[in-house]
Amino acid sequence: MKKQKLLRWAIKQRKVIQVIIGVALYIIIGYYHISLWYVLLFGAITGVILGKVFCRWMCPMGVMMEFLTSMTPGESFRQTYQYHKLGCPIAWISGWLNRFSFYRISLNKDTCKSCGICDKQCYISTLNSAKYSIYQNGKERPGASFSCSKCLQCVSECPNGSLTYRFAFSPLKTGKQVNMKKK
């Protein structure tokens, strides 16, 4: 239970954490002249372990994009957050590693009330609700998609605690979810 409270607190503080780590990373790269290859390696390692967290939790460019998108009203400009990642090799590598990462967003179907709050909080589900859903059967899970940056808003806002971000070692299936009811 303490882990879940700590995780929810960290998710609520994600933008602060992102600014601190992003600015620190920017200063370290600039001041110590760290090669971008090391940053790429660091992004790949975090991708293997945590999935695509670098973009929404650590990236200096992500800090600027979060700031710009929060200043502009309307959903159309917020969609551009996805497009700046097209030129970023860390986003490519860690996005591809979302399917294989050790930590995943997991849904407990037994406690899920199908309220849909998670899908409303998930930027991937809101951008393409016909294809993605965290809780609906027959749709792809956003957490396994290339675009999911593990902002974990879905986990934070789930009223039942049915969503968790936890260690799960087996590779994800890339297809649609299947209804797995207990018999």
Residue pLDDT, tens place only, 52-110? 999 889 988 878 877 777 776 665 555 555 555 667 888 888 888 888 899 999 999 99
Angle at 73 between CA 76 and CA 116, to 5 degrees: 70
pTM above 0.75, yes or no: yes
| Rounded-to-10 torsion of CA 74, 75, 79, 80 | 0
Domain carrying residue 57: 1-167
Under a CB-based contact definition with an 8 Å cutoff, are residues 44 and 93 in contact?
yes
Average of per-residue pLDDT values in the chain: 84
Q: Is residue 156 part of a domain?
A: yes
Under a CB-based contact definition with an 8 Å cutoff, are residues 121 and 143 in contact?
no
Q: Are strands 163-167 and 103-107 parallel, antiparallel or unpaired?
A: antiparallel
Q: Rounded to an integer, what distance in angstroms lies between the CA atom of residue 50 and that of residue 114? A: 26
Bridge partner list, 106: 164
Q: Is residue 26 part of a domain?
A: yes
Closest alpha carbon to 23 in 66, 55, 60 = 60
Q: Is residue 181 part of a domain?
A: no
Q: Is residue 118 part of a domain?
A: yes
pLDDT for 41-60, tens place per residue?
998 999 999 999 998 899 88
Q: Is residue 173 part of a domain?
A: no
Output the CA torsion sign for 13, 23, 103, 70.
positive
Q: Is residue 177 part of a domain?
A: no
The pLDDT of residue 179 is: 42
Q: Is residue 178 part of a domain?
A: no
Q: Is residue 112 part of a domain?
A: yes
* Domain count along the chain: 1
Bridge partner list, 165: 105
